[in-house]
Amino acid sequence: MADEKFVGTPKKATTHTNQNEDLMFEKSSPGKKAYRLAELDVPAIDAVALLGSEVRTDLGVMPELSEIEIIRHFTRLSTWNYAIDLGMYPLGSCTMKYNPRVNETVARLEGIAEAHPYQPESLSQGCLTIIKMMKDVLVEITGMDATTLQPAAGAHGEFTGILMIRAYHESHGNARKKILIPDSAHGTNPATAAVCGYEVANLKSNAHGMVDLDELERMVDEDTAALMLTNPSTIGVFESDIKKIADILHAKGALLYMDGANMNALVGKARPGDFGVDVMHLNLHKTFSTPHGGGGPGSGPVACKKILEPFLPAPLVVTRPDGSLSMDYDRPQSVGRVRMFYGNFGMFVRALAYVLANGPDGLRQTTEDAVLNANYIRAKLEGTFELPYKTQSLHEVVFSDKLQAKNGVKTGDMGKRLIDYGFHAYTVSFPLVVQGAMMIEPTESESREELDLLIDALKQIAREAEENPELVQTAPHTTRLQRLDETTAARKPILRWKGPVAPHPVLVDTVEKEW
């Protein structure tokens, strides 16, 4: 802690900073228990005699604690984390919006939560109806012809979509060699292309941060399988020439893949199926409000045009002549299964609850509010921070640290300082096309009051960067730990308790050398 250095006034308290570390193992003492069982009134079973060497008899050192000590330990740990239920996540690219509680209530209904994937179809008509409705909703929202809900995340959806593109070209006798990807793309795009066996060709953006049509024309050839395009792009800009881009590709037999993780800027306003997209994924755990982060389940449905429908993963839900729903496994040209069973079913339930609760007008309003909020932040902070692309913003805005870097204050420093003001950091140093990027996506969830708090905090930080750069360079000051050695934390994570003696290398205060 470096309280003496902290001079700014945080608007909100960040975390519960109880100095008592309350480490489970240190508090342990022999014989303490968190439970009380009745006396055994049946003969004891010898587990080893029953199960043989499978039984682990040496349980290692386990902490022995009372119930209240355990509860306080975990509750206290939870207060050291930041959460969407505590405040805003201005993370760009990742759409961290509020997840309405009604979604959770619906997903926990017994008939839904307890359904078994091997339950016969005759007893699963309700679950199949949810899958069918979610697919129909996505077809309507995207303007595409067919969907699969199987992929478990956005990147997994990309993988599925590119496998389908590969199968499509193979069915025409040649899988082709390369995939074009703009330099502003999310890192998962080139990774996906490479994993699917394609070469990645880097497409340079023009001065407005959009695809350069001349460059595209020059690069597309008969070896090009597809262009993977994020629209709106990662800098929050709508590719206004998207139809021309599609035409240029189609003229050479190449396809247009749209990374639709940013659909929250388009839902109810524009449909990719109408502007030439052949296949795309959506992130239910971004646009459709189901929780994400922390490694929870995700869902990255893929939607495609008719020409790609035969290649969708099997099974697909179909309506039988008698009106009942069924899973169709007989799909000879399918790329195969990409996920066990039907995908992360609970996520479809949450997303469908969100869609039905909003209705078409509500979804359109959501999109408008998300774009309005991003533009409010842009208008209020333009001048305080450099805005590298002046093109109209949609759901997110990218500033840079250029003005503050003159005083040695980098985007990472200001992101960390924002933590002292009670906010999660914005996205730091991404996209790579912007040096020192500061990427902010407020989402529609935030009120004007909350946006004003964020704007005030960022203006205050910009003032600090002028008047007292060291304060920002050494932030955060109000968290339990100051600066972590992030490289070591990522490369050599220590994931379990290793005893009280050795200092935890990840927790050593070090100032990062580089961002």
Ligand X SMILES: *Cc1c(COP(=O)(O)O)cnc(C)c1O
Locus of tokens 């004007």: 448
Q: Shortest distance, CB of residue 468 to ligand X, whole angstroms?
A: 35
301 versus 388: smaller Cβ distance to ligand X:
301
CA dist 368 and 358 (Å) reads 13
Residue of 340, 300, 7 whose CA lies nearest to 162: 300
CA dist 414 and 407 (Å) reads 12
| Contact (Cβ atoms closer than 8 angstroms) between residue 273 and residue 142 | yes
186 versus 339: smaller Cβ distance to ligand X:
186
CA dist 150 and 299 (Å) reads 8
Q: Is 416 in the site for ligand X (CB under 6 A)?
A: no
Helix (H) or strand (E) holding 446: none
Residue of 301, 279, 291, 262 whose CA lies nearest to 153: 301
262 versus 404: smaller Cβ distance to ligand X:
262
Number of residues that bind ligand X (CB under 6 A): 15
Q: Is 284 in the site for ligand X (CB under 6 A)?
A: no
CA dist 273 and 279 (Å) reads 9
Residue of minimal Cβ distance to ligand X: 154
Q: Is 188 in the site for ligand X (CB under 6 A)?
A: yes
Residue of 88, 184, 96 whose CA lies nearest to 395: 96
Q: Is 394 in the site for ligand X (CB under 6 A)?
A: no
Q: Is 283 in the site for ligand X (CB under 6 A)?
A: yes
Would you give the binding string for ligand X spanning residues 86-105, x where CB under 6 A is met?
-------xx-----------
CA dist 453 and 451 (Å) reads 5
| Angstrom distances, CA of residue 333 to CA of 167, 235, 310, 328 | 8, 37, 6, 13
300 versus 476: smaller Cβ distance to ligand X:
300
Q: Shortest distance, CB of residue 259 to ligand X, whole angstroms?
A: 5
Within 206-265, which residues bind ligand X (CB under 6 A)? 230, 234, 259, 261-262
Q: Shortest distance, CB of residue 94 to ligand X, whole angstroms?
A: 6
259 versus 309: smaller Cβ distance to ligand X:
259
CA dist 287 and 268 (Å) reads 12
Q: Shortest distance, CB of residue 152 to ligand X, whole angstroms?
A: 8
233 versus 479: smaller Cβ distance to ligand X:
233
| Contact (Cβ atoms closer than 8 angstroms) between residue 136 and residue 336 | no
Q: Shortest distance, CB of residue 154 to ligand X, whole angstroms?
A: 2
Which amino acid would we find at residue 125? Answer: Q
Q: Shortest distance, CB of residue 334 to ligand X, whole angstroms?
A: 22
Given 135, 186, 305, 424, the residue binding ligand X (CB under 6 A): 186
Within 147-176, which residues bind ligand X (CB under 6 A)? 153-155
Q: Is 298 in the site for ligand X (CB under 6 A)?
A: yes
Q: Is 404 in the site for ligand X (CB under 6 A)?
A: no
| Contact (Cβ atoms closer than 8 angstroms) between residue 91 and residue 446 | no
Helix (H) or strand (E) holding 6: none
Strands (E), 347-458: 397-400, 427-428, 437-440
Burial 88-124 (b: 16+ CB within 10 A, else e): bbbbbbbbbbebbeebeebbeeeebeebeeeeeeeeb
154 versus 313: smaller Cβ distance to ligand X:
154
246 versus 265: smaller Cβ distance to ligand X:
265
Q: Shortest distance, CB of residue 327 to ligand X, whole angstroms?
A: 25
Within 119-138, which residues bind ligand X (CB under 6 A)? none
188 versus 404: smaller Cβ distance to ligand X:
188
103 versus 234: smaller Cβ distance to ligand X:
234
Binding footprint of ligand X on the chain (CB under 6 A) = 93-94, 153-155, 186, 188, 230, 234, 259, 261-262, 283, 298, 300
